[in-house]
Structure 1
Amino acid sequence: MPPLAQQERTPVRKNDFAPLIECDAVLRDLIASGGPVPSDYAHVNRTLRHLGDAVRAKVIAREDVLAYAHDVTNRYLAGTMQARALGKKYGYSGDFEIIEAIYTLQTAQEPHLRRWDLYFHSQAAPNAVRNRKAYFHQLLHSHSAERTKAPLSVLNVASGPARDVREWVLDNPEREVFFDCVDAEIHAIERAKKLCEPFSKRVEFYHRNVLRFLPAKGYELVWSAGLFDYLTDRTFVFLLKALMAVTKRGGEVVVGNFSTYNPSRDYMELLGDWVLQHRTQDHLRDLALQAGALADSIEVNWEPEGVNLFLHIRR
């Protein structure tokens, strides 16, 4: 990369305000020095929070910030996790390839880009995504332990790369657990089938839009980790009703949703255009009630970061 003085600066219009100019200066200094190191992370996060505050206050238009993010990312950060999220290869930022990369801590080979990927993976949100895999595994342990004399049937909605399924089956070959995995993205299905090919007798895949199709059978556990925080409240309630309908009595529906406590939100939304429907515990309970769940059947938990909430409904 040429010296900073020789680089063409990403233009910041004269009528833009200080937070965007500040962000531009911070990012450029880091680009020139070969990318952020851990001692830089807090400063970058504060800078992005100031920028986010300006957008929320309508001092700066979000569209202008995104145009800037596309420009600086395309010029200097192509191939990073940030660029991949911003590029929306399959139409949205959190696609199955991004989730797979988060699970496996993928980084670019080039040292100056690798530093940006390490910064990406250090964020609370990617940590929460990795934590939800562990959360799913714990659910599988507890539910399968309760069914020592009968198989456990699991529906995995918006299953993505299904690495969580693969890892659990590898670690628990003696557990009689069977998975139906549904995803609307054919490339995700193809990737997941390859990952789970050794376990084809225990894992079935359906290339379907879950808003139009669910397998016509009952399940002891229904799980959806990363779909509901893309849905409006109305669609959330519609799909939750459908999932409850295919959950057997005594079974459980568990859906994940990012909470309003998300320290990574400004980084995700402003530099990655990764926008989710963040919800509170009370909001999730209210949506469950709208879907017909009984009040005493509802519980909301969270993973260690406190970023990803999990709505539990016992049937």
Structure 2
Amino acid sequence: MASGGLSLFREHDRLSRFKSLEDRPPLPIGTQAPVSIPDTLYPVVAEDVRRALTDIANLASPGNYTALADTLIDLLALLKETFSDRTWHGAVLPAARAHTVAQLVHECPFTSHSFTKPRGYPGDAGLIDFVYRHPAARPAQEAATAAGRTVMAFTVDVTACEAVRRRRSVLAAAIDAAAARREQPAILSVACGHLREAELSLALTAGRVGRLLAVDQDATSLAAVEGYRGSVSPAIETRQATVRQILAHRTDLGRFDLVYAAGLYDYLDARVAARLTRVLFDHLHPGGRLLIPNFLWGVREEAYMEVFMDWYLLYRTRSEIEDFAREIDPAAIRSTLYTEDAAGTIGYLEIERI
């Protein structure tokens, strides 16, 4: 097993020198099965990683790391696909983080923000503002190096980030649809972040929403949301609460015509996700709808996110997302609808209460 694994790794070392995705040959037959390397060979694997990353670092041009970022994402994805989780976390990931290429990509304010976690947890609302290309993220972008900005221009344009921007539009459309179904609806956003979808909602700005309660654990995020009371709608309210408090029924949230959670479920294990789905469903008025997005398997940038952003998501299949509803009494459900975005990156589960 050891010799076969190292043979595969030399193939990856070679692939790292391709200057573009178009030059990359197809994966060799048989490399789909994860390869686990004995601990005693981790130093050899780490050295191979360092050589491959040195080749990639040589793609950096003064003031422009676009080719570096593109090839780096591709190589890491290939390595993560090939090696077992144990080898990935024990040998590949530490070697990559220790390489000087990490310093180059951390010139990107988006990548650096995620890795340093200024609010103490991954995927905070400030990070998502980079994905949205929101003006709030502009000062950090302008303070970055010119080369760092080229990394960010590339990384925020990948499929996963485009899916997050699309998700924002989907949530805004859900708010507008709730206002079309019911006069002055009550809406709950769980783990609302900066609630940037409020800027896209026509119903909110037109005064057709009776109440939008934005709930988050982060006081900094809620302070940003408070600003929308004057600029978007006075119907917006904020409440600081954790998922644990919601699950324990220690919050008096009320009843709603629409409940949604933007990126929350990407961080919840299956048992907590099912429990939360039942609790949130119980907060619906008759005819109300619960909307839950979750990233699907197959995100090309997953390995880059783990190595250089320290950003881990829980990717799921359609059946796993649909299984969120397993604790709800079927007799209380009028309908369920599963959809995906055009790229098959995020799946959406909508559950309507009778």
Q: TM-score, normalised by structure 2?
A: 0.76
2:178 is the alignment partner of 1:133 = no
Distance 1:99 1:57, change over 3 A: closer
Structure 1 residue 263 displacement after superposition = 2.0
Match for residue 167 of structure 1?
200
Distance 1:252 1:30, change over 3 A: same
Where structure 1 has 5 or more consecutive residues not aligned to the other structure, the ranges are 1-12
Match for residue 218 of structure 1?
255
Query: SS in structure 1 opposite 2:44?
Result: coil
2-structure distance, mates of 1:70, 1:191: 36
Match for residue 53 of structure 1?
81
Match for residue 302 of structure 1?
340
Q: In terms of mean alpha carbon deviation, does 302-311 or 19-28 score higher?
A: 19-28
Q: In terms of mean alpha carbon deviation, does 228-237 or 282-291 score higher?
A: 282-291
Structure 1 residue 193 displacement after superposition = 1.3
1:230-265 Cα deviation digits (max 9, x unpaired): 011111111111100001111100011111132221
Query: SS in structure 1 opposite 2:112?
Result: helix
The structure with the largest alpha-carbon Rg is: 2
Query: SS in structure 2 opposite 1:16?
Result: helix
CA contact (8 A) 2:175 2:203 kept: no
Match for residue 20 of structure 2?
none
Query: SS in structure 1 opposite 2:291?
Result: strand
2:231 is the alignment partner of 1:231 = no
The higher relative CO (CA closer than 8 Å, separation ≥ 6) is in 1
2-structure distance, mates of 1:63, 1:189: 40
Alignment RMSD, CA only?
Answer: 2.7
Match for residue 4 of structure 1?
none
User: Which of 176, 184, 187 lines up with 2:209 in the alignment?
Assistant: 176
Identity %: 20
1:157-200 Cα deviation digits (max 9, x unpaired): 00001111133258741423420000001111112212443346
Report the count of equivalent residues. Answer: 300
User: Which of 58, 61, 73 lines up with 1:29 in the alignment?
Assistant: 58
Match for residue 111 of structure 2?
82
2-structure distance, mates of 1:196, 1:74: 41
2-structure distance, mates of 1:170, 1:285: 29
Where structure 2 has 5 or more consecutive residues not aligned to the other structure, the ranges are 1-41
2-structure distance, mates of 1:129, 1:306: 12
1-structure distance, mates of 2:124, 2:153: 19
CA contact (8 A) 2:207 2:233 kept: no
Alignment of 1:203-214 (within 5 A): 203-213=236-246, 214=251
Structure 1 residue 210 displacement after superposition = 3.2
1-structure distance, mates of 2:228, 2:133: 13
Query: SS in structure 2 opposite 1:279?
Result: coil
Q: What amino acid maps onto 2:127 in structure 1?
A: I
Q: TM-score, normalised by structure 1?
A: 0.84
Match for residue 65 of structure 1?
93
